[in-house]
Amino acid sequence: MLKYSRWVILLLMTGTAATPASADDRCYSAATTDLERLYCEVIAEGGGASLPSQPDFNRNDPQVQALLLKRPAQRLGLTVPEPGQAQAPAAASTDSGAAVTNEPREPETNDPVVAQGLANCQLAGERIRCPQADYDLAANQDRGALAEGVLGPDNRLKIDSFTGGRNDEEAVRRYLSNAYDHYIPGMLRIGLGANTMSFTAFHNAFHTLEEGGVDFSQRMAQTYELLKQDRQQLGVKSRYHDDLPESLSLCGMINPDIIVCDNVRTNWIYVRNDG
The reported pLDDT for the residue numbered 141 is 94
Distance of CA 211 to the CA centre of its chain: 19
Which CA distances in Å does 25 have to 22, 36, 41, 211? Answer: 8, 13, 11, 29
- Distance separating alpha carbons of residues 172 and 73, to the nearest angstrom: 38
**Predicted pLDDT of residue 42:** 85
| Per-residue confidence (pLDDT) for residue 101, from 0 to 100 | 34
Say which residues have a Cβ less than 8 Å from residue 114's Cβ, sequence separation at least 6. 199, 249, 250, 251, 252, 262
Residue 189 CA to residue 242 CA, distance in Å, equals 23
- Give the per-residue pLDDT at 133: 92
Residue of 95, 108, 142 whose CA lies nearest to 238: 142
The pLDDT of residue 25 = 66
Segments making up each domain of the chain, as ranges: 10-101, 122-273
What pTM does this model have? 0.62
Residue 199 in 3-state DSSP?
Answer: helix
Model pLDDT, residue 84: 58
Q: Would you state the pLDDT for residue 121?
A: 92
Per-residue pLDDT for the chain (275 aa), expressed as one digit of tens each? 233 233 334 434 334 333 333 344 677 777 788 888 888 888 888 877 767 777 777 777 787 788 788 877 877 888 888 775 434 333 333 333 333 333 333 333 343 333 456 888 999 999 999 998 999 999 999 999 999 999 999 999 999 999 988 888 888 889 999 999 999 999 999 999 999 988 888 888 898 889 889 999 999 999 999 999 989 888 888 988 889 999 898 898 989 999 999 887 889 999 999 86
Q: Cα 80 vs. chain centroid, distance in angstroms?
A: 18
Report the distance separating Cα 2 and Cα 243, nearest Å. Answer: 9
Which distant-in-sequence residues (6+ apart) come within 8 Å of 222 by Cβ? 14
